[in-house]
Amino acid sequence: MKKSVFVLASSVLMLSTALTGCFGKPVSTDANDKPASDSQILKLNLHSEPPTADPGLASDTTSGAVARATFDGLTRTTEKGEPINSVAEKIDVSDDGLTYTFHLRDSQWSNGDPVTAHDFEFAWKRALDPNTISDYAYQLYYIKNGEAFNTKKAKRDDVGVKALDDKTLEVKLENPTPFFLELTAFYTYYPVNKKVVEANPKWATEAATHVGNGPFKMEAWEHKSKLVLVKNDKYWDKDTVKLDRIEFSMVEDENTELSMFESGDLDWAGHPLSSLPTDSIPALKDQGKMTTIPIAGTYWYKFNTEQVPFNNVKIRKAFTYAINRQAIIDNITQQEQKPAMGALPESMLLHPEGYFKDNDVETAKKLLEEGIKELGLTKLPPITLSYNTSEAHKKIAEAIQDQWKQELGVEVKLENVEWKTYIDKLHAGNYQVGRMGWLGDFNDPINFLELFKDKKGGNNDTNWENPKFKELLNQSALELDKEKRKKILANAEAILMEDMPIAPIYFYTFSYVKKDQVKGVVLDGLGFVDWKWAYVSK
């Protein structure tokens, strides 16, 4: 991507033009560039070990990027964020928008098995099966009885996905879902090889047993050290794939990563798989080496609403209001982010003026005092702020720790945890305040709001639940009028921000440096990266 070139994403228009999102073109600048004649190798860094290489279990950016490279869905999104046919050669949609019939092309798994409609049916029902414990199961709730099966209120056979034969998949939805073909490009909707998965529950943990149907296949996985993908010669669209290999190192230190880039050991550094060291950003900006693009995502802190003192809404608000977001952006992140005064990013704002003021210390002090009294305490118990290993997360946490100390008189301990362990801690509720964020899976407010619909939802972690909030989200699924649906979702976000289970901090941007020879990498406005079309020019 050159100079942050963007176009409007027409495929996700749901709530009037206020919700159009920005999607980048591939990282390519010259239509006459051609792949070099020698071996096509792209050298990248994964900031940390992928928690999983199973698309049915993936729920983070790193795992999702690996899944997107090694699997292919019924559809695949382009550089504009628009879905195009992929494993599905033809798609029929009923007049009422409730039934989709996918006609599959001839394609193969990396082990040579044919990809069938039965693999898709198996994969979707497997992700919905409550015994699978897929954090992203709710992404399949748009399917008839998907939620009912996941919550043990219906049987597997009741789910509205059925292989009519090897090449035909019929899907029935709960309600018309205009963005459904974008969802089928998302990794939770990818197929898995039924025969392989049933034969070996640990199939996705090692390169030797990993089987995918995507542009690349896994050649090596030295855990916490490196991961190597190679071109999949069984891929249905293999002639489009120009890269021979993608070699990932796994270095957590951003300074080391940048040094590796500058010495030629990496072709790309920074987002979407890592981040640039904050101390280097001014120089990279001045030298014109860094590209920055807005991303439909929000960086926030989560509160564990079942742990004292964050079981009190006034204390949650006090900690949220006391944060000086602009100071963090100006002095730490320095990548053109904007302060977040609500949960929804700029491409889908419902309440542009925000729900609170940045650095509202006076209100924060008042609410903290009231909250402590309501809990019957004389002072706050020890507070721990947790974050996963990253220089930027560390500096942001230290800044907020200092702000809470200076403005509220609160002592806060910081806890740094490696990514996979960190995710497990949050999912288990073993934290008080935890760093997290959300990048949109599709450009619609429901994708952010539904995270907090259910207390035990796969990506909630806050243990917060509100019956009225849930009711409004359910209403929005039935409302076909765009403006009415927009108002319903706005009311839902207002409840979320009134109860404050999260503290929004800023809206994401992605910044990276790359070699000029790297072309064709798709990095869209939702932060998804796809190397299917990538190559290294002469």
Q: Which amino acid is residue 458, in one-letter code?
A: G
Tens place of pLDDT for every residue, the chain, 538 residues? 222 221 222 222 222 222 233 333 344 434 345 555 467 999 999 999 999 999 999 999 999 999 999 999 999 998 778 899 999 999 999 999 999 999 999 999 999 999 999 999 999 999 999 999 999 999 999 999 999 999 999 999 999 999 999 999 999 999 999 899 999 999 999 999 999 999 999 999 999 999 999 999 999 999 999 999 999 999 999 999 999 999 999 999 999 999 999 999 999 999 999 999 999 999 999 999 999 999 999 999 999 999 999 999 999 999 999 999 999 999 999 999 999 999 999 989 999 999 999 999 999 999 999 999 999 999 999 999 999 999 999 999 999 999 999 999 999 999 999 988 999 999 999 999 999 999 888 888 999 999 999 998 778 999 999 999 999 999 998 888 889 999 999 999 999 999 999 999 999 999 999 999 999 999 988 889 999 999 999 8
Whole-number Å distance between alpha carbons of 155 and 90: 29
Give this prediction's pTM.
0.80
- Kindly list the structural domains of the chain, giving each domain's residue range(s) and its CATH number in brackets, ordered by start: 73-214 (3.90.76.10), 294-509 (3.10.105.10)
Under DSSP, the state recorded for 488 is: H
Burial 35-68 (b: 16+ CB within 10 A, else e): beeeebebbbbbbbbbbbbbbbbbbbbbbbbbbb
In the prediction, which pLDDT does 11 show? 27
Residue 268, beta-bridge partner list: 514
Whole-number Å distance between alpha carbons of 25 and 9: 11
Neighbours of 352 (CB within 10 A): 10
Whole-number Å distance between alpha carbons of 129 and 282: 48
